[in-house]
Amino acid sequence: MTTSNKIKNFNSNPEGYNQWVLRSNAEVQRIIDQKPTWTKKDFNGKGKLNPKKENALLTRTETDRPNLKFGQIGKRKKPLEEIYKLSNKENIIKFKNNEIDEDTFRDRALRKSYNDKKSPIKKKKYEKLRYKNLTEEQLESKRKRNRDYIKNLSGKQLEKRKITESKRQKKRWANMSEVQKEIKRKKDREYQKRKSAIKK
């Protein structure tokens, strides 16, 4: 066949020389078994452990074949040592005492890590929205946690908290409208009633 005929038939390689030979499922599985910590993306040269496309061991069509078994599926878990660093003391104690399982421990640590990265303004907005949507039962539970937290503060920590809280309240009160002040007075009266009820 002449070159002009090849172009006319839209086939520049009619004899099929140097065509890609498909690897069998068994061959693909052997490659997968050699890298038990790799995900599909790693094999495609797009993952964290293998980010360069030129180093890809398998094509996407190969990794998408059914009945293949990968050692790592989905998001890779952080080592527990890193989770301990991200967590707080309370959750570490609960995890060690088997009060919470590993998944809960990881979830709380990662949420804490995410919240720690937020700016103070974003944190404040988030807390306001969250507080606004709490039920009465959740509010009472939150008040109890706050009381328990204050009880466990040392003398110096408590004194520092009182000074900070006093400054914050003065600044907040100065910027309030009369309507907001009246709402605050009402809440304070409700608080005093609850406080009296607890003492009884």
Which positions of the chain have pLDDT values less than 70? 1-21, 199-200
pLDDT at 192: 85
147: in domain: no
> For position 143, what pLDDT does the model report?
86
Domain membership flag for residue 183? no
Does some domain include residue 55? yes
Q: How far apart are CA 143 and CA 141, in angstroms?
A: 5
Domain membership flag for residue 57: yes
Considering the domain boundaries, does residue 195 fall inside one?
Answer: no
How many domains is the chain partitioned into structurally?
1
Segments forming the whole domain that contains residue 12: 3-63
Mean pLDDT over each residue of the chain, to the nearest integer: 85
The answer to the question of residue 38 being in a domain is: yes
Give domain status of residue 37, yes or no. Answer: yes
Residue 149 lies in a domain: no
Task: State residue 92's pLDDT score.
Answer: 93
pLDDT at 172: 85
What is residue 69's predicted lDDT score, i.e. its pLDDT? 92
